[in-house]
Chain A
Amino acid sequence: SAVISQKPSRDICQRGTSLTIQCQVDSQVTMMFWYRQQPGQSLTLIATANQGSEATYESGFVIDKFPISRPNLTFSTLTVSNMSPEDSSIYLCSVEDTVPNHSGANVLTFGAGSRLTVL
Chain B
Amino acid sequence: AQKITQTQPGMFVQEKEAVTLDCTYDTSDPSYGLFWYKQPSSGEMIFLIYQGSYDQQNATEGRYSLNFQKARKSANLVISASQLGDSAMYFCAMSRVRVYSTLTFGKGTMLLVSP
A in complex with B: yes
Closest partner residue, chain A, to B110 (CB atom): A40
Q: Which of B46, B50, B91 has the most CB of A within 10 A?
A: B50
Known: A112-B43, A115-B43. A42 touches B33 (CB 8 A): no
A36 to B50 Cα, complex, angstroms: 22
Q: Which residues of A contact B106 (CB under 8 A)?
A: 42
Interface of B is mostly: strand
Select which of A48, A90, A105 is within 8 A of B100 by beta carbon: A105
Select which of A43, A48, A109, A112 is within 8 A of B47 by beta carbon: A109
How many residues does chain A have at the interface if contact means C-beta atoms less than 8 Å apart?
26
Known: A103-B50, A103-B59, A107-B35. A112 touches B102 (CB 8 A): no
Q: How large is the interface on B (under 10, 10 to 19, 20 to 34, 35 or more residues)?
A: 20 to 34
* Chain B 71-115: CB-based contact to A (< 8 A → 1; otherwise 0): 000000000000000000001010000001111011110000000
A45 to B47 Cα, complex, angstroms: 17
A101 to B59 Cα, complex, angstroms: 12
Asked whether any CB of chain B lies closer than 8 Å to the CB of A21, the reply is no
Q: Give chain B's interface residues, CB within 8 Å of chain A.
A: 33, 35, 37, 42-47, 50-52, 55, 59, 91, 93, 100-103, 105-108
Pairs of residues from A and B, 10 with the lowest C-beta to C-beta distance, nearest first: A110-B45, A113-B43, A42-B105, A112-B44, A105-B50, A43-B105, A106-B100, A103-B50, A107-B47, A96-B101
